[in-house]
Structure 1
Amino acid sequence: MASAEIAPLLSSVQLGPLALRNRVFMSALTRNRSVPTNVPNDVNLEYYQQRAKSAGLIITEGVLITPQGSEWPHAPGLWSKEQVSAWKKITDAVHKEGSFIFAQIWHLGRVSHPDAPEQKLAGVPVYGPSAITARGGKFRFLPGHPGYVTPTAIDDPTVLLDLFEQAAVNAKEAGFDGVELHGANGYLVHQFLDSTSNLRTDSWGGSIANRAKFGLLALERLIKVFGKDRVGVKLSPGAGYNDVGMPVEETIETFGYFITEADKLGIAYFDVMRYTDMMNPTIDGKKRGVPHDTVAAYGHLTKNAKFFSNAGWSPEEAASAVKDGKVEGVFFGTLWISHPDLAKRLEHGKPLDNPIDFTTLYGKYYASEEAQKKGYVDYPEAQY
C-alpha cells in the first residue's frame, strides 16, 4: 500500500462542485495522435480511458479552438460538430471510470504557419498581438522545415475572444467538466502578457493591466459558459518556450498582477508551471527563460482559487508540498505517459518502472492505427 510519505497526494480534494478522489492530476500532453483530421479517434479514446481509471483530474492535450497552422500536426480541435461528438465519447468514458476531465483550450497565436493545411483551411492570417516574429521553431512536416513567420497584428482581439467562448460552448456540449485556458508556453494568451511579444500602444498593450486584459477577458468568456468554479488557467512564468521571457522583476510583477486579478474572478484553479531547463531554450546564444521559484512567488496570491503546480515534480516532492500547504495538487506529465495507472501504482506502492520511449513521444505521421498505438496506449499496467 501507499507509504505515509505519499499519502497526502492520495487524499481527496474539492474543486468547485467536483469531488476529486486524489491530487494526482494528469497534465495536458500534446501527443499528435488525432489522425488524420483533428478529430479525436478510437486510439485517443483508449488513451484517456486507461488513465481515467485512477487520475483525480485529467486535462486534455491542447485542443485547438479554430484551424491553425500548428507545429503539432494531428492535434485535436473543438470547432466542429464532428469533433464535439468524438470528444463526447471520451468524456463519457472518463466519467464511467470515476474521473473528471477539463478541455485545455488553445490558440497558438504567432507560432502558427500560413502554409500548414489547417491555417489554409481557416482562411485567415497568422495572428499575434504584434507583428513580431518568434525566434526558433521548426515545422518539420512542411517542405524545407520552415521556422516561424511574422504574424499579422490582430486589429480587434475580441474576434479571438469570440473563438474562446465558442470553444467553451462546444466543450460543454461535449460533456467536459470544465475548461482550462492555455495561458502558458508562449502561445496566444502568453503573447499578450509578455512585453517582448506585445508592443501594442492601444488598450491591449503597454501597461501590465493592458497586457493582462486579453487573458482576463478570455477567462470571463469561459466563466460565462461554464460558471466560475469550472474554469482554470495554466501559466508558465519562468518558461522561455516560443521566444517569450521578460526580466525577472517584470515577470513577477506581471504574473502577480494577472493571478491576483484572475483570482478575483473566482476561477477554480491556477496550474502554475515551475521553471525547468526543458522549457528554457537557448536563443541567439542565451537562455530565454526566467529562473525563479514560481510556487513561492505566486502561491500566496490566491485567495479563492486552488493553487496547483506542474513541471518536474516527483510524487514524493509533490506529496510533501501538499502536506506543507504549498500546493493543493500537482499535475504530472511524463509519468502519466509511461504509467497509465500512475495514481493506482502510488496507492499500492508499485514501482514507477516503465521507461518512457522518447522516440514515440509526439509520434510521426502515422499511417496505421497500430503505429498510432505505439508509445501511446501500449505501456503496461502494474500487477496488482
Structure 2
Amino acid sequence: MKEYYVQRTAGGTGLIVTEGILVSPQGSQWPTSPGIWNDEQVAAWKTIVDAVHEAGTKIYAQLSHVGRTAHPDAELQRVWGEPVYGPSAIAARVGGKFRFLPGSPGYVIPTPISDPRAIIAQFKQAAVNAQRAGFDGVELHGASGMLIAQFLDSGANQRTDEWGGSAANRARFALETLAALKEVWGPDVAFKISPGNGTNDVGMPVAETIEVSGHLMKEVDKLGLAYVALVRYNAKKDTLLDGRPRGTEHDVLGTYAPLLPNTKVFVNGSVTPDEAVELLGGGVDGVFFGMPFLTHPDLTRRIAEGKPLDSVPRVQYLYDGTGEDGSVGYTDYVT
C-alpha cells in the first residue's frame, strides 16, 4: 500500500484521498478492506502518510462505514461480534456478491441502528486516529450507497424517529457526523456525495433526490468544510435493477454547486484531462480523478506532458483469492 500511494505522488500530485477506510470492523465486500479503529492500523497508516509527505503531497483519509452492505459471515464481522447494521431492516437488492464466502451470498437484512450517535462516535474516534497517523485532513464518504447515503435514501431509511422521514431528518446523520469530524479537525474536513449514484441499491425519484440532497448541501455550506466533492451521474457505471438503471440521472454539478456558494466544489466522475481544464475555467475549484489514477500511477505527469492514458485494460479485481501477485494491475505499471 505504501508503494501504491507513493507512486501516485509522481509529477507533483497536490492531494491524494485514500480509498474508503473503515471506522469499525464491519464485514465489507472486500475481506482486506483497510481500517483505522486500532493502534496497529494507525501505525501502519503513519508509515504511508509519512512517505507521501516526504514526496511533497498532501493526503486525506476517507472515512467510511458500509452499513447494510456488510455480511455477518465475513471474518471481521464474526470477530467483532456485532450484527450488520443499517438505518432500517431493509436489505439492498442489487450488488453485494461476497465472493470470498462459500456460495457467494448476497446482502442480508440489517439490524436497525438503535442509536446513530454511537456510530457517529466511531467516526469521531476514527478522525482522532487519522490525526494520530499524520493525515492532513479527513473526507467523509457519503457516496456509493455507503451508510451516509443509506440514511439519505428513502429506500434504505424508513425510520419514524428524528433520523428518518423528512429531508431534514434523513440529512441529520450526515450533518452530525460532519460536525463531529470538525470537532477534531476544524476546517480540514471534506465531504463526498453522489446524489445520482445507484450503487448498492440507493436511488430515489429526481424530485425527492433534489429535495433531500439539496437540503443537505444548503446545511453543509454553513459548516466551513475544506471542500465538497460532487460525483456526477454516469449511466455507464450505474447499477441495473430489473433491467433498468437504479440511479437517478440528473445534472449533479448544475443542481448542487449553486447551493454551495461558501464552499469549494470539486468534481468527480469520469472527468477527462481536457474536460478538467474546462471545468476549472468555468468556476469549479478542483477536479478529482479516480479510475485514471488507479490505473496510472504517474497520472499527474502524464496530464502535464500530454501523454496518453493507456493502462485502463490492465486493472484486475482479485475476487477469488487464489494467491495471485497483488501488485499486478496496481503497482506494476510502466511509467
Q: Is residue 2:78 matched to residue 1:124? A: no
Q: Deviations over 1:80-119 (max 9, x none)?
A: 1111001001111111111110000110001100000011
Aligned residue for 2:220, secondary structure, equals helix
Partners of 2:217 and 2:322 lie apart in 1 by 40
Match of 2:61? Answer: 103
Structure 1 counterpart of 2:314, which letter? D
- Partner of 2:221, secondary structure, is helix
1:123 is displaced (CA, Å) by 1.0
2:270 to 312, 315, 325: 312
Shift of 1:279: 3.7
| 2:35 is aligned with 1:77 | yes
Matches within 5 A, 1:257-272: 257-272=215-230
Is the contact made by 2:293 and 2:299 (CA closer than 8 Å) also made in structure 1?
yes
Query: Shift in Å at residue 362 of structure 1?
Result: 5.2
Q: Does 1:204 align with 2:163?
A: yes
CA contact (8 A) 2:232 2:269 kept: yes
Q: Offset of 1:351 from its aligned partner?
A: 2.4
Shift of 1:366: 6.0
Counterpart of 1:372 in structure 2: which amino acid?
G
Q: Residue 196 of structure 2 aligns to a residue in which SS?
A: coil
Alignment-derived partner of residue 41 in structure 1: none
Whether the aligned pair in 1 keeps the contact of 2:100 and 2:319 (CA below 8 Å) is no
Counting aligned pairs with the same residue, the percent is 53
Match of 1:367 in 2: 323
| Equivalent residues, number | 333
1:335 aligned onto 2:321: no
Instruction: Give 5+ residue unaligned stretches, structure 2.
Output: none
Identify which range, 206-215 or 47-56, moves more after superposition: 47-56
Distance 2:322 2:9 in 1: 25
Equivalent residue number for residue 282 of structure 1: 240
User: C-alpha displacement at 1:55, in angstroms?
Assistant: 1.7
Matched, 1:249 2:207: yes
Q: In the TM superposition, what whole-angstrom CA distance separates every residue of 1:217-245 from its partner, at most 9, and x where no partner exists?
A: 00001000011x21001101001111111
Structure 2 Cα separation of the partners of residues 81 and 279 of structure 1: 36
Separation (CA, whole Å) in 1 of partners of 2:249 and 2:128: 37
Which 10-residue stretch deviates more, 272-281 or 146-155? 272-281
Please name the residue that 1:186 is paired with: 145
- What secondary structure sits across from 1:121 in the alignment? helix
Deviation for aligned residue 1:367: 3.5
**How far apart, CA to CA, are the structure 2 residues paired with 1:133 and 1:66?**
20
Contact in 2 for aligned 1:366/1:372 (Cα 8 Å): no
Q: TM-score, normalised by structure 1?
A: 0.84
Which SS does the other structure have where 2:138 is aligned?
Answer: strand
Q: Are the equivalent residues in 2 in contact too, given 1:337–1:356 (CA < 8 A)?
A: no
Pick from 181, 192, 207 the counterpart of residue 222 of structure 1. 181
What code does the residue aligned with 1:258 have?
L
Is the contact between residue 238 and residue 291 of structure 1 (CA under 8 Å) also seen in structure 2? yes
* AA of the residue aligned to 2:323: A
2:44 corresponds to which of 75, 86, 96: 86
- The Cα offsets for residues 179-231 of structure 1, whole Å up to 9 and x where unpaired, read as 0001011110000011111100000101000000000000001000011x210
TM-align CA RMSD: 1.3
2:191 is aligned, of 227, 233, 236, to 233
Greater RCO (CA < 8 Å, at least 6 residues apart): 1
Q: CA deviation at 1:292?
A: 0.6
> Which has the larger displacement, 216-225 or 299-308?
299-308
Confirm or deny: 8 A CA contact 1:363 1:372 kept in the other structure.
no
Residue equivalent to 1:45: 2
Q: Which residue number in structure 2 is paired with residue 273 of structure 1?
A: 231
State which of 96, 102, 110 in structure 2 corresponds to 1:143. Answer: 102
Task: Give unmatched runs, 5+ long, in structure 1.
Answer: 1-43
Separation in 2, partners of 1:375, 1:143: 26
Q: How far does residue 341 in structure 1 lie from its aligned partner after superposition? A: 1.1
Q: Secondary structure at the match of 1:372?
A: coil
Letter in 1 for 2:125: Q
Distance between the aligned counterparts of 2:30 and 2:38, measured in 1?
19
Would the alpha carbon gap of residues 364 and 47 (structure 1) be closer, same or farther in structure 2, given more than 3 Å must change? farther
Q: CA deviation at 1:260?
A: 1.0
Distance 2:113 2:306 in 1: 52
Matched, 1:174 2:128: no
Specify the code of the residue in structure 2 equivalent to 1:376: Y
- Judge conservation of contact 2:99–2:319 (CA < 8 Å) in 1: no
Tell me the distance in 1 between the aligned counterparts of 2:125 and 2:177.
Answer: 11
1:279 and 1:289 in contact (8 A); partners too: no
